[in-house]
Structure 1
Amino acid sequence: MSNISVSTNGAKRSTGTKGDVVLEVNDLNVSFPTDDGLVHAVRGVTYELRRGQSLGIVGESGSGKSVTSMAIMGLLPKTAQITGSARLEGDELLGLGDAELSRIRGKKISMIFQDPLTSLNPVYTVGFQLAEAVRVHYPDVSKSEARTRCIDLLDSVGIPNPQQRVDAYPHELSGGMRQRVVIAIAMANNPDVIIADEPTTALDVTVQAQVLEALEKAREEVNAALILITHDLGVIAGHTDDVLVMYAGKPVEQGTVDEIFYEPRMPYTLGLIGSLPRMDEDRNQRLTPVHGTPPSMLNLPPGCPFRPRCPMHQDICAEVEPDLMPIGPTGHVSACHFSDQLEGKAPDDVFAAVATDLSVEAEVEAAEAEAAALHAQEEEK
């Protein structure tokens, strides 16, 4: 493995001790005003991330995974209404201006976006863009030093012939190579936190494994904390320490990988696991899908957002949205009124025997329509 340290002319940044809390997010809420009302995209996300730790954030599309990280990075539009706290090594990120955040982004916290082709500028070589990521934070680094650094980075993430590839344009590289270039840019300045937003989307399985391996190497090389955002539980199982499951903009279960996969205590988590093909199951074994669709984040009805899709719902689920409650002393938490009844349950035990409750879905749709009508009346007044 090539040496990937950054020369800063003697000004070395402390990397801290593995296990120290590097990112602390507390009660993060994000809303977007629209013509139809306020969309509550993120509702009360809280977690701690330690140096060297990897956290997987999972959930269906629209659950608030990416918005959470974009809020931390300061990349949301100015119309976004953000409350709560996000502290990087004790320093508050929310509320900082773009100039202040630009000094932090890419140096202390980096983000790997979903589509590498749109993340890279098509008119500049990958080497130019890698060197720019270094020199914008360390202007004293010479062009020759930056080029050497770029070659080392490309070699570190597994790109063959880095001496030649450094002068290639993005369109001359495959999708997997482009994603590895984006990973190299993210690790260029030895950041404290790397956020990877679905980095393996649209890649075949072989290339996906190579990209994930490059991401693991990046984390190990710079001793960074990693946030891996994905909807693929298979990726989460093999590459993270802890898991945060999100639904309707809110965390519904959090724990270690083993706790989430072997002791899930939220019906939605069980549904996600049941939708995942398994190598140890019979070939003719059918998957256990979660029926229905996620709710609209505009005018959410009262109660548990997962209620219309949950076979276990009862009257209290329509009235009170459950908070995250501890499951034992380990830090495993779940937001379900009946989490104690899920001990030892498999996805088939919860979902297979019960069809979608269409009456509940209709009831929730009626409640949403009523809330929208009341909102429209208030605006008219």
Structure 2
Amino acid sequence: MSAGRHVPVVTWMVVRQLDWERFAAEHWGREPVRLTGGVSHAGLDTGRAYQAAVATVDASRDDVTFRSGGRAVPDGSGWAPREADGDLDGYLARMGDEGDWLLSVMDPLPASFALWAQVRDALTNLWWRVGWPHEPVGSELAIGRGHSRDHDPAHPRTPAGLLWVLRGGVTVLLRGERPPALRLSGSVGDLLYWPAGYHVAETYPTGAAVALRLALPEGGALPANATERAVGRSAAGLLPAPPPGAVSTLRLTDRIRVTSHLVEVRGAWAVNGHALPRGADRRVLSALTLGRETGVRELCRTGGGGDARTASTLTLLRTLHRLRAVEPVGAADRAEPGVLSAR
């Protein structure tokens, strides 16, 4: 980061244990901050994040870049994670300790519902306190060693950022319209935040580091469409959301647990970033409060009697099962907690 040699640099040392209420009141939109315990608070898992990156790389290389020695390295040069690596440690061992490099995977979260849901839940805690975004939240998983980079050097005003340090350490240089520049450093487990308007550059140490970065939108027009608003709020702005799961085989004799919060905006319903059918029975949806356990047959009675009503309610519950809003009692709390095979 050569710019750091031309302007005064102040090491920014605001360190706080993560507390969303205090963060929103004292730091949001005001100043950068390093929050300790951010990774454990969100429940983020480095191995799960790496597997999501691998699945994204396998699905498409359009949003994947690899840089080394100050230049982009073309695909086919052996830098892509592969199944034979086994895990993150295997990938890092194959890459070796020499040279500098950075693997950047944009929007990896849709490849893992469990990872996406953890980040969505963390953002929901934030948005309840500072206001909901009207535009999608961008995400990036970066894995690197000894590499420095600038974000959009031609456009110094960047969005606000959240950066979880999942492994190693990351140093962020923030340059505003006037000096001094601010240096914000985080180690494994930390969450870094900076407001919008800074020119952002990052340095990854000689030891390998992994970071999950979010670009947080500000402002934007409120969608007039109630369905769009419900979808965006159910995803906390993390769109696109993971695709639906496999075809549901829920039966009338099953008992289910509600595992995700259903969002309603002016009669439009959504869950986990997906809209529900406009004709879905409001009585059934309203009965599905987070954490509730109930029987499928009981919910069918909520929707009214008769074979047609029962069939319609069962179809709705199977849709909700595919969207990971409900789970059969005894199943995992989150459907398909690992990596999805398709985005």
TM class, shorter-length? under 0.3
Per the normalisation by structure 1, the TM-score is 0.25
More helix by share: 1
Per the normalisation by structure 2, the TM-score is 0.27
More strand by share: 2
